Amino acid sequence: MPRCGSQIILCDLPIRFDNYSGCSHGCKYCFVTRKADISNINLDESATALKRFIDGKRISETCWCDWDIPLHWGGMSDPFQPIENELKSSLECLKVLAETKYPFVVSTKGTTCLVQPEYLNLLKQCNAAVQVSLISPKFDALEPGAPSFEERLKDIAVIASHCKRLIIRIQPYVREVKADIISNLPRYKDAGVYGITIEGIKYFQKRKGMIKSGADFVYPVEKLKADFIQIRQVAHDLGIKFFCGENRLRNMGDSLCCCGVDGIKGFNTNKANLNHFLYDRDNFKYTENMQKKSSSCFRTLTQNTIGGRVIKNKSFAEIMDIFTRDKTAIDSLSSTK
């Protein structure tokens, strides 16, 4: 069944769906490699489980959600990686999504698979926003199992005409490729791209020029901000939307939802998170189910943020209230240092 990710306190689309585990793209920067061997690829959640969620069946991690929240498909594994050509699991999921018109965002580098006619025909029937990860040709060496930068760029022109929106995902952003990103923005515009979403790289180990933030080493926020201002200006001059997945700079984006789905009919996202608490207080509201016992969705945070005993038997609303009173958590999002 779809489940909550670790960004529950920050994200507008915190419920993810992965029908594969592992990924043959072999990206050298992949955050999933911290937890698992991604070379071991298997089937994960099924189209049947997806349909149960769409029909309103909720597990302990998602029982707080009492509306048709858009799913984020491909949070931990690419649904259109090469094994899909053999197993067709994602094709079955697309059939469910096309039939139900349930809203979703799918993240992929596997454009070679997605541009096949049987996939495009289903995608066109879906209520879907597609995010294609595309950073720089220099990243081809870091993504050995994925289609090349140029291959993906060619494919997005086809995909863009078969979905509600196409977003370019520039995650992780490294400062060495800023010029590449800016120079390719006109090509994105010509391909029918709606917007870009960008987030700075996070390292597990200390790197020169990086600072410690939580468990990661990241760019100082003022350096990212300066780069993002330049990229945003060029994007806006071209009529491309700019969204910021960097939590410290989320309000730089054209929407607080960094997936770029605001305004799409049927895409009612979760606004009961810290970013909306900070920058969009009028829309920070709890639903009925959020005020019932639903602490399981926070279990990934209990070991390093708040203790399990603190959240036990509490509701989503009660736990979020703890975070809204946490000055450290709030300062980390509004800091400019």
CA distance 106 to 209: 33
Domain count within the chain: 1
Extract the tokens encoding 300.
Answer: 């990934």
Residue 329 lies in a domain: no
CATH of the domain at 149: 3.80.30.30
- Contact indicator for 18, 75 with CB cutoff of 8 Å: yes
List pLDDT tens digits, range 12-70: 999 999 999 999 999 989 877 766 678 899 999 999 999 999 999 999 899 999 999 99
Range of the domain at 192: 3-279
Instruction: Classify residue 260: in a domain, yes or no.
Output: yes
DSSP annotation string for 198-239: EEE--BSS--TT-EEETTEEE--HHHHHHHHHHHHHHHHHHT
- Rounded Cα–Cα distance for residues 10 and 324 (Å): 11
The pLDDT of residue 302 is 60
Residue 7 lies in a domain: yes
Mean pLDDT of the chain: 93
Torsion of CA 193, 199, 204, 205, to 10 degrees: 110
Q: Summarize the confidence of residues 236-252 as an average pLDDT.
A: 97
What was the pLDDT predicted at 295? 75
Place of tokens 């960008």: 198
Confirm whether 274 is domain-assigned. Answer: yes
Indicate the SS3 state at residue 105: strand
> Between residues 149 and 29, which one has the greater pLDDT?
149
- For residue 314, is pLDDT > 50? yes
Domain assignment of residue 308, yes or no: no
Residue 231 in domain: yes
The pLDDT assigned to 337 comes to: 37
DSSP result, 19-70:
SEES-TT--TT-GGGGTS-TTS-EE-S-HHHHHHHHTT---TTTTT--S-PP
Q: 291 lies in a domain? A: no
Whole-angstrom distance, CA of residue 8 vs CA of residue 2: 13
Token pair belonging to 291: 């005020």
Residue 304 resides in a domain: no
State the Cα–Cα distance between residues 238 and 227, nearest whole angstrom.
Answer: 17
Contact (CB, 8 A) for 247 and 333? yes
103, two tokens: 């809203």
